[in-house]
Structure 1
Amino acid sequence: MQSESRWARAAAVGVPAAVMAVIGAWDLGRGGMWRDEGVTFQVARRSVPQIWRLLHGVDAVHGLYYLLMHAVLALRADEVALRLPSVCGATAAAALVGALGTRLAGAWAGCGAGLLYAVTPMVGYYAQEGRSYALVSAGVLAATLLLARAVDGQGVWRAYAVVLGVTCLLHELAALAVCAHALTLACARVRRGVWGRWSCAVGAAGAVTLPLALVSRAQSGQVAWLRTPGWASAGRLLSASVPVPTGVLFWGCVALALLGVCAGPRTLTRVALPLALAPPALLIAVSRLRPLYDDRYVLYALAGMPLLTAGGCAALLTAARRAARRRATGAPTRPRDPGHAGARSRALVLPGAVALVLGLALVAVVGVALPPHRADRADARRPDDLGALSGAAARQVRPGEPVLFLPAIGRRAALAYPAGFAAARDVALREPAALSGTLYGREVDAVELRRRLAGAHRLWVVAERYALRPGPPPADAAERAKLALLRREFTPAGPLPRPAPGGAILRLYVRRGEGTTARGGGR
């Protein structure tokens, strides 16, 4: 929008970025890391050769992100440094939504879209998580903006290819955005030459990403926990795309988005609608055959809804201006008619009133969206708290006492916060995680574990909730052997602690027949 001032265009980008930066920085160092953040933290602190060795066996999909975080955590290794790149990624994403909206529908629409994106709770949640998803969102939105510029003849196809390739290396499912971009070009009916240059750019990005895709395909066991998605998954993502997930404001945003689809600026709809629908729809469809879907894998699709909502607002303002012009031009046109000026001034009130109502609605949405952001900072909103578990171990485990992790992934608390377990003896560990090229280390067999526990009268167990429940034995033979030995030779010294939802527990066991004088603690 060339007629708009430079200040208006700058504000459309800067205001959403500033709001997102404040939301992201708000209580950034609160609480401890949870399980996925703990993996990022302990892997990124390894040496580069150790990270490279790990990627050949597991978690290759996050390889570039781990290397990036290796450089970040080399400067400062704590929760704030772990999450700061995500804050920067979310801030850049909000600015890019504002820039996209400005380019496609005007500065005020861009500012509104960027603000709606910034105050969306799911965006704020991942802005404070030490994983790659906020950075991936920024990369996809940067590629989308470059695509819009390239279609307009600004010759940025190389930059588009580079940004797209780097983003796919951060997480390979960012490649689903390519399908959205293809739909955008098809709806815009671009020339054959544009299709050719776009195909070359996508091909270059794909060539860079192909080795990652081949390696990660062999590591599909990492997402074996995912379930087949249904309609509920689509509904959940729709609710997450709006700053207010329920009530009148939610349906108001949905109505404005539908208006944006039907009557908003065509250039904006061609970009925003495919971005909002294509990646999640494709991933859900594929996941009906092989589960791969999780909301965070298509976090970047959340930008489509704010853009469409802003397009609906733009359509209302455009309609109001047209009505005002018709009312003004329908008034008497005699030069000295005193009623003519009054009719024009009354007619121009309409677009101003519509803009005022839309602005007040935006303020209401922002105000209502802030409490969920506050709630997201509570410890209960994360699946577990590795710092709290490590702190419990530091308080209760005596120097030299054995600790058994059940299953082995429970060792993530000791890897993320080793100080709490420094005095304990990891009785099942054969080779540490960093040296073995694994996430959680290699463990001894059942015979060696029994030998190591032969003289132990007390045994601390760090266990996931499901590991101690009655039911079918674990599928893994080593985990079955550990559980069988625990149940056969030890008994709980106290009642089962109450963990946080989904979290692990710390529980004391004593050898059978030696009494239960010692009591075990919890989180």
Structure 2
Amino acid sequence: MSRSPMRREERIAVLVPVVVMFTLGLWGLDRDGMWRDEAATFQVARRSLPQIWHLLRSVDAVHGLYYLLMHPVLAVHPGEVLLRLPSVCGAAAAAGLVAALGVRLGRPRVGLWAGLLYAVTPMVGHYAQEGRSYALVAAGVAGATLLLVRAVEGGRWWPYGVVVAVTCVLHEFAALMLAAHACTLALARVPGRLWLRWGSAAGAAVAVLVPLVLVSRGQAEQVAWLTVPDARSVRGLVEQFFGPSRRVLVPCLGLAVLGALAPLPRGVSLAGVAAPLLVVPPTVLMAVSQFRPLYYDRYVLYSLAGVPLLAAAGAERVVGSARRLRLGGWTHIDRRLYGDGVALLGVVAVCCVFLVQLPLLRDDRRAAHRPDDLGAVSAAVAQRVRSGDPVLFLPSLERRSALAYPAGFRGVRDVALGVPAAESGTLYGREVGPEELRRRLEGLRYVWVVTERYALDSSWTPWNATDRVKLAVVKRDFVTREEYVRPHLTLRLYVRRQVPPSNGSN
């Protein structure tokens, strides 16, 4: 086959997954309602650069580069679509890079199948529509992996080092890709000079990351909610990576195992790239988390790229075996028609995977599918709370709904707020101390409380002294007059108890 048609096939194999992923990412992107993590991106990225820097010194340094990248994006037109659009672009780029890896290490149809399978995976679609950095990190890791392959085959190493450094600063757990890449080099049995060049590039990237690691270690309380991963965590990750439906999981897992068991030639191979990328980062993070919990599935989203690559490689092995069993000779036209037919058959198989998982993809595009809907909270407040009414947020982080959707809270009186979020260098603002809050509450005849159901449970004890005062005072001095309950929201109107008349003499 001439090189020109091959290049055309390679371009098609890469561009089709990009277009499919971008289209799926745009589907339902304008859904209303940011959830809490998206709201953090939205309100922080809209601050001035000095205010963002002020925040990062005390909290969320791990997301600092992402906030800085989102700052000019949201300056254009703040809203849900622009908040999520960079993630759509990141997921589309990742799909194309996965396809490019399949093309370079296999053949065009392998890349086409891998890129399309990546694009229709529900976990990919989920983070493609979320205003956080994970889809961009996945694109960065896929890009760094492709640059690693090129460097080993004679390319330059500095682009690899730059992309690794930027990706790791975007999210520091992306540094685990270096362990996967080391395994790839070991499986490829590269000579010592390549190990030295890779070590120099990787070392430079790690040196760039070290200051962020030191700062984020001082902010470790942000991930104090994480738990030690167990067998359920492993099972959950397998379902997320290979497909929640058994009709997808079983054949995809079988093909991936077949692809991973392919004989490894000397040099970089598809299995030698994909298997370490899939296995090493989650395994290392889960192992470390047995001593200090740091694992969450989205932190290793980028490892998912190994699944479609291995599954496509496994499918290619099946095709090769079937072809060897065919009797008779092959003409040039026969081979071309056979190759096109096989490629089309693989695309049809991916379409079937898409149809099986379509209900999951459709449900994921509803705001109710996220952990919470801050837009719904703001709308509920707007319907019931009048301008000038006093409001308490319990706990204080419930103020995030007012920061993300301030229109619903316009004119209300935030009783506990001392210094606003942007000025205080915090995510949710700095509240007044317990005594000042008691003084402010003394003169109120009524107060609205925005909270979640768990915060009103008798067994819950706030860690924050100001939140403890809120809870104690409203329970002691007020009674509930109205209550509006939704998932992840309780809005209560408390009115002051009537003081019984004294029986003593005047």
TM-score normalised by length of structure 1: 0.91
Deviation at 1:355, TM superposition (A): 5.8
Which shifted more, 376-385 or 138-147? 376-385
Q: CA 1:388–1:359 in structure 2 vs 1: closer, same or farther (change >3 Å)?
A: closer
CA distance in 1, matches of 2:467, 2:159: 49
CA distance in 1, matches of 2:138, 2:85: 15
Structure 1 residue 120 corresponds to structure 2 residue 121? yes
Letter aligned with residue 164 of structure 1? V
Deviation at 1:213, TM superposition (A): 0.3
Correspondences of 1:467-506 after superposition (within 5 Å): 467-495=455-483, 497-500=484-487, 503-506=488-491
The residue that corresponds to 1:255 in the other structure is: 254
Q: CA 1:43–1:188 in structure 2 vs 1: closer, same or farther (change >3 Å)?
A: same
Letter aligned with residue 378 of structure 1? R
Deviation at 1:353, TM superposition (A): 7.6
The residue that corresponds to 1:443 in the other structure is: 431
- Mapped contact 1:265–1:311 kept (Cα < 8 A): no
Q: CA 1:53–1:347 in structure 2 vs 1: closer, same or farther (change >3 Å)?
A: closer
Q: 1:461 aligns with which of 424, 433, 449?
A: 449
Query: Deviation per CA, 1:39-76, whole angstroms, max 9, x where unpaired?
Result: 11111111100100110000000000001111111111
Letter aligned with residue 77 of structure 1? P
SS of residue paired to 2:486 = coil
SS of residue paired to 1:462 = strand
SS of residue paired to 1:460 = strand
Q: CA 1:92–1:489 in structure 2 vs 1: closer, same or farther (change >3 Å)?
A: same
The residue that corresponds to 2:307 in the other structure is: 305
The residue that corresponds to 2:48 in the other structure is: 47
Deviation at 1:352, TM superposition (A): 8.0
CA distance in 2, matches of 1:2, 1:199: 38
Correspondences of 1:217-296 after superposition (within 5 Å): 217-242=217-242, 244-263=243-262, 267-296=269-298
- Mapped contact 1:317–1:351 kept (Cα < 8 A): no
Letter aligned with residue 29 of structure 2? L
The residue that corresponds to 2:106 in the other structure is: 105
The residue that corresponds to 1:389 in the other structure is: 377
The residue that corresponds to 2:422 in the other structure is: 434
CA distance in 2, matches of 1:262, 1:186: 16
CA distance in 2, matches of 1:254, 1:510: 59
Q: CA 1:347–1:170 in structure 2 vs 1: closer, same or farther (change >3 Å)?
A: closer
CA distance in 1, matches of 2:177, 2:349: 31
- Mapped contact 1:461–1:506 kept (Cα < 8 A): yes
Identity of aligned residues (%): 56
Q: CA 1:401–1:353 in structure 2 vs 1: closer, same or farther (change >3 Å)?
A: closer
SS of residue paired to 1:57 = coil
Q: 1:510 aligns with which of 492, 495, 499?
A: 495
The residue that corresponds to 1:34 in the other structure is: 35
Consecutive unaligned residues in structure 2, runs of 5 or more: 501-506
Deviation at 1:249, TM superposition (A): 3.1
- Mapped contact 2:477–2:497 kept (Cα < 8 A): yes
Correspondences of 1:44-193 after superposition (within 5 Å): 44-155=45-156, 157-193=157-193
Q: CA 1:301–1:447 in structure 2 vs 1: closer, same or farther (change >3 Å)?
A: same
Letter aligned with residue 468 of structure 1? L
- Mapped contact 1:464–1:505 kept (Cα < 8 A): yes
Letter aligned with residue 492 of structure 2? R
The residue that corresponds to 2:17 in the other structure is: 16
**Matched length:** 496
Deviation at 1:349, TM superposition (A): 9.7
Deviation at 1:274, TM superposition (A): 0.4
SS of residue paired to 1:5 = helix
Q: CA 1:348–1:299 in structure 2 vs 1: closer, same or farther (change >3 Å)?
A: closer
CA distance in 2, matches of 1:504, 1:346: 64
Structure 1 residue 416 corresponds to structure 2 residue 404? yes
The residue that corresponds to 1:332 in the other structure is: none
Q: CA 1:255–1:457 in structure 2 vs 1: closer, same or farther (change >3 Å)?
A: same
- Mapped contact 1:320–1:350 kept (Cα < 8 A): no
Deviation at 1:370, TM superposition (A): 2.2
CA distance in 2, matches of 1:59, 1:207: 20
CA distance in 2, matches of 1:78, 1:265: 49
Higher relative contact order (CA closer than 8 Å, sequence separation 6+): 2
Deviation at 1:454, TM superposition (A): 2.1
CA distance in 1, matches of 2:497, 2:429: 29
- Mapped contact 2:262–2:271 kept (Cα < 8 A): no
Query: Deviation per CA, 1:73-104, whole angstroms, max 9, x where unpaired?
Result: 11111111100110110010000000011101
- Mapped contact 2:181–2:277 kept (Cα < 8 A): yes
Deviation at 1:367, TM superposition (A): 1.7
Structure 1 residue 212 corresponds to structure 2 residue 212? yes
- Mapped contact 2:61–2:215 kept (Cα < 8 A): yes
CA distance in 2, matches of 1:358, 1:473: 56
CA distance in 1, matches of 2:253, 2:468: 50
- Mapped contact 1:317–1:355 kept (Cα < 8 A): no
CA distance in 1, matches of 2:496, 2:2: 78
Deviation at 1:486, TM superposition (A): 1.5
Consecutive unaligned residues in structure 1, runs of 5 or more: 330-340, 516-523
SS of residue paired to 1:362 = helix
Deviation at 1:359, TM superposition (A): 4.2
CA distance in 2, matches of 1:467, 1:246: 36
Query: Deviation per CA, 1:200-223, whole angstroms, max 9, x where unpaired?
Result: 001111111100000000100001
CA distance in 1, matches of 2:250, 2:357: 14
- Mapped contact 1:264–1:312 kept (Cα < 8 A): no
TM-score normalised by length of structure 2: 0.94
Q: CA 1:391–1:124 in structure 2 vs 1: closer, same or farther (change >3 Å)?
A: same
Letter aligned with residue 288 of structure 1? Q
CA distance in 2, matches of 1:85, 1:7: 28
Structure 1 residue 379 corresponds to structure 2 residue 367? yes
> Cα RMSD (Å) of the superposition?
2.2
- Mapped contact 1:180–1:279 kept (Cα < 8 A): yes
CA distance in 2, matches of 1:472, 1:438: 24
Structure 1 residue 198 corresponds to structure 2 residue 183? no
